[in-house]
Amino acid sequence: MDVKKQCAEEALTYIENGMTVGLGGGSTIKHLVTFLKDSGRSVKVVTPSWETKQHCVSEGLQVLPLSDVPSIDIAFDGCDQVDQQLHALKSGGGIHTEEKLVAYMADEYVLLVDESKFVPALTFEHPVVVEVLPQALPYVRRKLESFPVLQANIRMSEDKDGAVITENGNLLLDVYVDPDKADSGLEGRLKGLTGVIDTSLFTSVVTKALVAGPSGIREITIKGEN
Q: Which of 25, 73, 106, 131 binds ligand 5RP (CB under 6 A)?
A: 25
Cα dist. 175→39, 79, 119, 127, 198 in Å?
Answer: 41, 17, 20, 5, 13
Q: What count of residues does the chain have? A: 226
- Per CB under 6 A, does 6 bind ligand 5RP? no
Question: Is residue 115 flagged as an active site residue?
Answer: no
Q: Give the CA angle between residues 26, 32, 68 to the nearest 5°.
A: 80
Q: Which residue is nearest to ligand 5RP, using beta carbons?
A: 26
Q: Least separation, in Å, of the C-beta of 154 and ligand 5RP? A: 18
Q: Which of 10, 78, 118, 152 binds ligand 5RP (CB under 6 A)?
A: 78
- Per CB under 6 A, does 24 bind ligand 5RP? yes
Number of neighbouring beta carbons within 10 Å of residue 171 = 20
- Per CB under 6 A, does 81 bind ligand 5RP? no
Q: Which of 19, 35, 59, 92 binds ligand 5RP (CB under 6 A)?
A: 92
Query: In whole angstroms, what is the distance from residue 23 CA to residue 214 CA?
Result: 25
Of 51, 61, 60, the C-alpha closest to 30 is: 51
Q: Which residues are catalytic?
A: 99
> Which residues would be at the binding site for ligand 5RP (CB under 6 A)?
24-28, 77-80, 90-93
